[in-house]
Structure 1
Amino acid sequence: MTYKDQLYPWCIIRHLPKLQRLVVCRHRRCNDAEDHLRLLQRMIPHASYSIIFDPTLDSAEAIVKSKQPLEKPTLSL
């Protein structure tokens, strides 16, 4: 996920056949996504859309973060 995608976590997704989905657009605020969803539903009434919050990291970033060693606590006497 790019930095730009992280700035826009609210996604409108279109549901496709065979449990597939397509990210139509991304928004910074939930209100903006809701407004855009209303517009899409007026323009294409037969399509199914949802709004999701997508704060996930890229899988490669998650793997790198999980492999970093933990810092060992130091004892001070």
Structure 2
Amino acid sequence: MPRSYQLLSTGLQSHLHGDKFIMTYRERITPWIVVRLLPHVQHLIIRRFHARANAQEYAKLLRRYATDSEFEVMFDCPMTAPTLSPPSDSPPV
């Protein structure tokens, strides 16, 4: 019988604004994520970390206790980089 466990939601929500992917401040400062791999090339974010080593140790712990699931450490970055452009009403330099 597989072990059951509850995933706690952290309340972190990225969202799309037009064609740009917007990350919250907390998501930007914690780019290393531990994910549970799901069928059909999907994943579920379990927890975020500042340091890669901390994420790897947490994934190791999850693998030990939840043997029926697969966990990986990933780097979560914005889909589009912010662009720096002058405002359209400013005079050319």
- For the residues of structure 1 that align with 2:87 and 2:75, how far apart are their CA atoms? 30
State the aligned residue count. Answer: 69
- For the residues of structure 1 that align with 2:78 and 2:26, how far apart are their CA atoms? 13
* Identical positions, percent: 28
Superposition TM-score, scaled by structure 1 size: 0.72
- Larger relative contact order (C-alpha < 8 A, sep ≥ 6)? 1
Q: Work out which of the residue numbers 46, 53, 62 in structure 1 matches 2:75.
A: 53
Runs of 4+ residues over 2 Å off in structure 1? 68-74
Residue type of the partner of 1:31?
Answer: A
Superposition TM-score, scaled by structure 2 size: 0.61
Gaps of 5+ in 2: 1-22
Gaps of 5+ in 1: none
Residue type of the partner of 1:15?
Answer: L
Q: Write 1 or 2 for the structure with the bigger share of helix.
A: 1
Q: Cα RMSD over matched residues? A: 2.8
Structure with the greater alpha carbon radius of gyration: 1
